[in-house]
Chains A and B, each alone.
Chain A
Amino acid sequence: MKKVLDITKEHCPMTFVKTKIELSKLNDGDILEVLLAEGEPLDNVPRNAKEQGYNVLSIEHVEGTTHKVTIKK
């Protein structure tokens, strides 16, 4: 099951707070695609996901300052 979360307009701490809340709702094997801005979110969201045991499958540049991080539980 795949879900998309757009946090491009959010600021700290809601960037990783919202990501964490969505991640905790996932079942094993589910995928969360997070659209985020570069800078603080791009630096912190993938790292935090990894630290908490989630698999960061990829980090891609979408357009402009937006990036997509694909995370699997």
Chain B
Amino acid sequence: MAENKKLSIIAFSGDFDKLTAVFTLGTGAAAVGYEVNIFFTFWGLDAIKKKQGRSFTGGNWLTKIFGFMMGGLKVTPTSRFNFLGAGPKIFRYLMKKNNVATLEELVEAAKALGINMYACEMAMHVLGLKKKDFIPEVKDVLGVASFLNLSDGGQTLFI
């Protein structure tokens, strides 16, 4: 019997559909007793920013542009069929119609289930973000070695 069931997910992608997969897997695993770690890096950092919506974060003009373009969960594009933003709207409509959990509901469930969320130090530096720019549920800022330590003994997924 697997007592220490553990799932670690590297959330690299900032796409709507892929983030939905990250949080579906994460909440599903947590709901059946897994210890779940999600390591947000690069585009994935978009999902855990405190200030959702487009804003000019960061120290210099380049990071400010990224801060504007990466506007958080509401404006994430789908990885295909984005059609200038129509894609996610269509998918959200279909999900609501079929009573499937929306991305926001899954993120709230992740917080309620105590999923461990971490931010990647390297990506943060590049995009000019600081720990205070993230939601309070983000436990810590980590590098590769710490993440590998955390995920040791469990399953790891790259999304």
Asked if A30 lies at the interface with its beta carbon under 8 angstroms from chain B, I say: no
Asked if B101 lies at the interface with its beta carbon under 8 angstroms from chain A, I say: yes
* Distance of A61 Cα from B47 Cα, bound (Å): 41
Asked if B99 lies at the interface with its beta carbon under 8 angstroms from chain A, I say: yes
With A21-B109, A21-B113 as known contacts, state yes or no: A48 contacts B32, CB within 8 Å: yes
Q: Is the interface of A mostly helix, strand, loop or mixed?
A: helix
Asked if A70 lies at the interface with its beta carbon under 8 angstroms from chain B, I say: no
Residues of A within 8 A of B100 (CB): 11, 14
Asked if A13 lies at the interface with its beta carbon under 8 angstroms from chain B, I say: yes
Binds A, one of B22-30, B70-78, B81-89, B124-132: B22-30
Interface residues of B (CB under 8 A from A): 24, 27-28, 30-33, 98-101, 105-106, 109, 112-113
